[in-house]
Amino acid sequence: MSRKPVGYWTKEKCQEEALKYKTKKEFQKNSSAYGISAKNKWINEVCSHMLEIKKPKNYWTKEKCQKEALKYRTKNVFKDNSLSCYTKCLREKWIDDICIHMLEIKKPKNYWTKERCKEEAFKYKTRAEFNKKSSGCYSKAWENKWLNEICSHMITIGNKYKKCIYVYEFINTKTAYIGLTYNVDVRNMQHLKRGPVFIYSRLIKQKPKFKKLTDYIDVEEAKIKENDFVNEYKNSGWQVLNSATPGAIGGGTRKWTKEKCIEDAKQYSRKCDYINSKGYKAAFRNEWLTEVYQEAGFKISTNKPFKYWTKERCIMESEKYETFKEFCKQSRVTYSLCQRHKWVIEIKKYRNW
C-alpha cells in the first residue's frame, strides 16, 4: 500500500475508497482512509452501504453455531474470527460437539520432550516469535533450561545492553546516517517512515543503501565504535546527517553481569522486594534466577513463567476440581488471577458452578 501525501484523503475520496469494501472490518484492515474517516466523524456516512455485522439477540442457535464452526480448523482460529459464536458455545456447553471436527491443539502431559521442543523451535527466527506462537513449548524449554541450545539457530537481536551499529548511505550525494539499535529490522522500518533518513530520502528522491557495520555488541563498546564510524565517514568526505551526539541511546544503562545481579539481590531481605529491581529483570532475561536466588538465600519458587496463566489454562485448571469452593481453596494463585482479569463469571458458567 503506497503512502498518500498529507491531505490526500478528503471526504469524497474516503467515500470512493469505502465503496471497495463490504464491511467496516475489511475497510479498516486494508485502507488508511478508515482512520481518517473515523477521526473526522465521517465513518457512518462513508460506510452506510456496508453490511451490518452485529448479530441480533439470540441469533446464535446451536445449528447456526455448527454451521459457523465448520469454517474453522482449530478452536483458536474459531475464537479469533467469531468470538460471539464461540462464547455462546462455551456458555451453552456446545463447544465439544460443535468443534469435534477441529484439530486438537491441547498437548498431552509431558508431550514437550527436548527433541520435540528443538523441532518446534526450528520453525521460528527469533525467541520473541517462538514465545508468541508456541508459548507452551517455550515455557517447557525455559523450565528445563534448553532455550540456549534449541534456539542457537535463531537470529540474534539485542537489548539495552547489546547494540548493533548500522549506516544509511546516499551514494549520489555522499551523505550518510550512522546509528545504533537493539533491533535492526524494527529500526529500519522506523527510519523509512519518519526522521532524518526518511526526510532526506524524499528531498533528493533517492533510496539509501542500508548496511550493518557490526554485530550486536556490548553497549559501551557500541557507543565508542559509533563515534569512530562517524569520524571515519567525515574524514572520508561524507556529510553526516546525525543530529544527536554519537553514542546517545536515551537514558543511563548499567551492565548487569551475573555477579552484579547476585550482589543486587543480597541487598534485599525479601524476594517480593527484589522482583521490582532492575537486577531481577536482568537475571530473569539471562536465565540466572535460580543461581541468584541460591546465592542470595531466597527460597526457589516453583511458580509458572510470566504470563503462563491464560484464560484457557485457567479453565483447564478449574476442570481438576468438583466444586468452585474447592477450586478457590486448592488453586489460589489461579483463582486470584481469574478475579484480577474478571474471568470468574465465565469460568463458573463454563463449569456450571
Q: Return all residues near 186 (Cβ < 8 A) that are at least 6 apart.
A: none
| Domain count for the chain | 5
Rounded to the nearest integer, the mean pLDDT of the chain is: 80
Tell me, yes or no, whether 121 and 145 share the same domain.
yes
Neighbours of 48 (CB within 10 A): 9
Using DSSP, state whether 179 is helix, strand or coil: strand
Residue 28: inside a domain, yes or no?
Answer: no
- What is the average pLDDT across 14-30? 83
Residue 45: inside a domain, yes or no?
Answer: no
Stronger pLDDT, 170 or 254, i.e. the higher one: 170
- Residues 43-53 have pLDDT tens digits of 878 887 776 55
Confidence band of 250 (pLDDT split at 50, 70, 90): very low
Residue for grid cell 535460580? 290
Residue 206: inside a domain, yes or no?
Answer: yes
Angstrom distance (rounded) from CA 46 to CA 13: 10
Stronger pLDDT, 11 or 286, i.e. the higher one: 11
- What is the average pLDDT across 270-290? 77
Residue 281: inside a domain, yes or no?
Answer: yes
Residue 18: inside a domain, yes or no?
Answer: no
- What is the average pLDDT across 214-228? 84
Structural domain of 197: 162-240
Residue 171: inside a domain, yes or no?
Answer: yes
Tell me, yes or no, whether 93 and 71 share the same domain.
yes
Tell me, yes or no, whether 201 and 227 share the same domain.
yes
Dihedrals phi, psi of 265, to nearest 5 degrees: -65, -35
Tell me, yes or no, whether 143 and 167 share the same domain.
no
Angstrom distance (rounded) from CA 198 to CA 195: 6
Angstrom distance (rounded) from CA 308 to CA 321: 20
Tell me, yes or no, whether 83 and 121 share the same domain.
no
Backbone Cα Rg of the chain: 27
Confidence band of 303 (pLDDT split at 50, 70, 90): low
pLDDT of residue 34: 83
Distances (CA, A) of 143 to 36, 42, 295, 303, 304: 47, 52, 19, 10, 9
Taken as a whole, the chain contains a residue count of 353
pLDDT of residue 251: 44
Tell me, yes or no, whether 331 and 284 share the same domain.
no
Residue 17: inside a domain, yes or no?
Answer: no
pLDDT of residue 7: 76
Query: Of the ranges 5-9, 51-55, 331-335, which is most confident?
Result: 331-335
Q: Is the pLDDT of residue 195 over 90?
A: no
- What is the average pLDDT across 277-282? 81
Stronger pLDDT, 271 or 21, i.e. the higher one: 21
pLDDT of residue 61: 92
Tell me, yes or no, whether 236 and 263 share the same domain.
no
Tell me, yes or no, whether 91 and 134 share the same domain.
no
Residue 24: inside a domain, yes or no?
Answer: no
Tell me, yes or no, whether 190 and 233 share the same domain.
yes
Tell me, yes or no, whether 232 and 274 share the same domain.
no
Tell me, yes or no, whether 288 and 320 share the same domain.
no
Stronger pLDDT, 260 or 302, i.e. the higher one: 260
Tell me, yes or no, whether 79 and 141 share the same domain.
no
Q: Is the pLDDT of residue 147 over 80?
A: yes
- What is the average pLDDT across 18-41? 82
- Taking the model in full, what pTM does it have? 0.35
- Residues 46-97 have pLDDT tens digits of 887 776 556 777 889 999 999 988 888 877 778 777 778 888 898 888 988 8
